[in-house]
Chain A
Amino acid sequence: MQALRKHIHPGWFIIAPLLILVATLYLSPILNILWLSVTDPEPGFGNYAKLGESDALVRIIWTTVRICIITTIFSVTLGYSIAYAMVHCHQKQKNYMLTLLLLSFWISILVRTFSWLMLLGRNGLVNGALQDIGLIAEPIAFMRNELGVLIGMVHYMIPYAVLPLLVSMEALDKRVMDASRNLGATGTQTFWRIYLPLTLPGLVASTLLVFILSLGFYVTPAVLGGGKVLMVAEYISVQLLVTLKWGTAAMLAALMLFGVLAMLWIMSRFMKLSTVFGGAAR
């Protein structure tokens, strides 16, 4: 024991409990799922070959990727605008904005989904209001289609898009922009040629973060899509809980996992990951 202590830093002894817990109860079943994807129902790459055979699977993956891309574009663009406004206003106003942003982080996803259900339904508040003021004659279908899923997802993802952008904008040296203006560039030029490129790391981090989080999103698509918009996460849950087909689900999970890890790797090249997560948790 004494010899052991000499070689191992005592800090490891208090790291161990959590490390062991996560390794045994989290990592091992995930590895098991990866293993299942090439062994269930029979060994080989049969599950992956289905991607080439089944149109349904390809359509589900395409729907997921498309919705994630659109969600990401909207969330990051709107998030950029919010972050920009927050950095360029008085401290007091910024604090109010930050409070609203964090508050929205904290509101339960179920409460939000429920609210959208009330607002966007056929007899929902939005349709009712539009009909009352005579803008539309027939209710618009906001739900049970991709539009509803997109509204719900963008609404959920905007705060996640803002935080990495905020970190990177606050770290900027304002004098660079002053220098650009002094050298005769217009405000627009300064923004496109100086400001935007300098905030690129934050932009990349924010884009990837939102995309990763959107990929596995379950609650909003399942409710607001109303069964009409089938995304990978919901398909996995149907495979496991209803048809009990582990193989296909495991294959999709493996694809998703590798996608996420690849994006994390790209992200780590642009930004220290801990700052992104640190920001996201606060």
Chain B
Amino acid sequence: MKSGLFSHFNRVGAWVLLLFLVTPALIAIPVSLTPKRFLSMPKGELSLRHFEMLFTSEEWLSSFFQSAVIAVSTSLIATILGTLCAIGLWRVSSKYSELVRAFLLLPLIIPQIISAMAFYRLWIPLGLLDSYAGLILAHTILAAPMVLITVSASLATFDPKLEQASKNLGASNWTTMRRVILPSIKPGVFAGALFAFILSWDEIVVTLFISKFSVYTLPRRMWNGIRENTDPTVAAAAVVLIAITFIAFVIFVISSRRNTKKTVS
């Protein structure tokens, strides 16, 4: 289009907006380096005392550990269930399977506060409140749709003739699944597992409702810190979270780039 001036301004505006999306989070970095005992911007000298605090505090370390256990378990279970389900839906592909797919995506779109209510309601009689199992189950239900989406996207580019060929050559259903289908949808499965991990690792709304004392995840502890709004250890924790997000993101970008290269060549 010839409207060059407008496009140009718009592009500059878009860059400013994109930077606005990312940069505010970085404020946690200087705040975490303050030598003071309260939340403040450091003036002149910097100190790592809040990181030291973070990594020696039993409470924070146990929260890190609990979050890791819950997120890894969630990711594992959600990936297995979500992948199986996606393959099943892909094989059936009928009117009913599309209905089931729409139903299974609901946990992603139903407001988190309603999901939290639902789990809270059911976990009371089941005795799952404030337990690892309760959190992992709840997070799995929220995360599985993510896996369903990424694996389905991979399956959409998979050639069904390959499956047919494998069967014609005498492979069983199970062998076909393991040796033919799974290797070709690996990028989708991997992305799904990563998304499921991040979702559980960050999840706060449902966690606030169904955890209390014995299970105290990292987001839960951060939430408390944010509400109290005094202890700079929260800033240090935020920096660690940003670093972890960044690493996960880089892994994701590199692996997806490798996959696109593979399909091109």
Query: A-side interface residues toward B, CB under 8 Å?
Result: 9-19, 21-22, 25-30, 32-33, 78, 81-82, 84-86, 88-89, 97, 99-104, 106-119, 125, 128, 155, 158-159, 177, 181, 186-188, 190-191, 212-213, 215-219, 223, 232-233, 236-237, 240-241, 249-250, 253, 256-257, 260, 264, 273-274, 277-278, 281-282
Contact = CB atoms under 8 A, between A and B. Distances in A.
B264 interface: no
Contacts of B114: 30, 33, 216, 253, 256-257
The 4 closest A-B pairs by CB, nearest first: A216-B111, A187-B3, A85-B14, A11-B91
Given A25-B141, A30-B114, A241-B209, A106 B1 contact: no
Contacts of A22: 103-104, 106-107, 141, 144
Given A33-B121, A81-B10, A11 B111 contact: no
B245 interface: yes
Interface in B9-58: 10-11, 13-15, 17-22, 24-28, 31, 39, 41
B10 A84 contact: yes
Tell me which of A107, A237, A274 has the highest count of chain B C-beta atoms within 10 A of its own C-beta: A107
Contact of A104 (B22, B107, B111, B222): B22
Contacts of A85: 7, 10-11, 13-15
Contacts of B6: 187-188
Nearest to A86: B14
B2 A181 contact: yes
Interface in B142-159: 144-146, 148-150, 152-153
B21 A19 contact: no
B113 A114 contact: no
B61 interface: no
Interface string B70-95: 00000000000110110111111010
Given A88-B1, A110-B219, A260-B110, A118 B104 contact: no
Given A21-B81, A118-B31, A260-B110, A110 B146 contact: no
A281 B107 CA distance: 13
B110 A82 contact: no
21 contacts: A12-B88, A12-B92, A14-B85, A15-B100, A18-B85, A18-B104, A18-B148, A28-B122, A81-B13, A85-B14, A88-B1, A111-B241, A111-B242, A117-B226, A155-B24, A181-B2, A216-B114, A218-B113, A237-B116, A240-B120, A278-B149
Contact of B84 (A14, A27, A101, A219): A14
B211 interface: no
A107 B113 contact: no
B108 interface: yes
B107 A119 contact: no
B118 A30 contact: yes
Interface residues of B, number: 96
Contact of B24 (A89, A112, A212, A277): A112
Interface of B: 1-3, 6-7, 10-11, 13-15, 17-22, 24-28, 31, 39, 41, 81-82, 84-85, 87-92, 94, 97, 100-122, 137-138, 140-141, 144-146, 148-150, 152-153, 173, 191, 195, 198, 202, 204-205, 208-209, 219, 222-223, 226-227, 229, 234-235, 238, 241-242, 245-246, 248-249, 253
Given A108-B202, A125-B41, A282-B150, 18 more contacts: A14-B85, A26-B107, A26-B118, A28-B122, A82-B14, A109-B202, A110-B241, A111-B238, A115-B28, A115-B238, A155-B20, A177-B1, A186-B3, A260-B109, A273-B105, A274-B101, A274-B149, A277-B108
Contacts of A119: 24, 27
A106 B243 CA distance: 11
Contact of A237 (B24, B39, B113): B113
Contact of B85 (A15, A212, A213): A15
Contacts of A18: 81-82, 84-85, 104, 144, 148
A217 B114 CA distance: 10
Contacts of A216: 110-114
Contact of B25 (A29, A115, A125, A218): A115
Nearest to B225: A114
A242 to B, nearest CB: 12
B250 to A, nearest CB: 10
